Amino acid sequence: MKKYLILLSLLIVVSSKAQQAPIIKFTDLKSLIQTKTDTTYVINFWATWCDPCIRELPSFLQLEKELADKKVKFHFVSLDFVRDYDSQFLPFLSKHSMNNYVYLLDEPDYNSWIDKVDPHWLGSIPATIVISHHPDSTYFNEGEFSYESLSKLVNSLIH
């Protein structure tokens, strides 16, 4: 019985540390976009229901692992529906081992904030903004990235 209780306690601890992602508002995202550091930020807007987003996701995750010791951070901002958080979103994160810097943006009025990310953004996903303050530059891409083009861009901006 004691072994059973220890195992049950361990399972509870492990499950409580299961993938979680904060639900954020645009103001939270805006502060990230405006952060001025020597770190390059790669912010990918995606959704679990978006086929091109899912196709490019392995490229982002691979590059994130390859550059783990560099001054670059990858942030994944999901545009999934908040109502699907437990049933679809969290299981997707777990299945794809997305562990760091994943957020669900709770801002259903896209027209109120997409221009604030980039004035050229028409609203489709995937969309990615890469921000480097050293050198001071921002790159925006609306559409699917290949691993090669993503790697080339990010590597050119990190120091």
Orientation of helix 147-157 relative to helix 51-66, angle to 10°: 40
Q: Which of 144, 158, 156 is nearest to 60 (CA)?
A: 144
Distance CA 79, CA 65 (A): 23
Residue 98 has what pLDDT? 85
DSSP letter at 100 equals: S
Q: Which of 128, 153, 1 is nearest to 56 (CA)?
A: 128
Residue 110 has what pLDDT? 86
Q: Give pTM, 2 decimals.
A: 0.84
Query: What are the 10-residue block averages of pLDDT along the chain, 159 residues in total?
Result: 35 43 91 84 96 96 95 95 94 88 92 91 95 84 96 89
Residue 133 has what pLDDT? 77
With b for 16 or more beta-carbon neighbours within 10 A and e for fewer, the 67-98 pattern comes to beeeebbbbbbbbbbeebbeeebbebbeebeb
Residue ranges per structural domain of the chain: 21-157
Residue 36 has what pLDDT? 80
Domain 21-157 belongs to what architecture?
Answer: 3-Layer(aba) Sandwich (3.40)
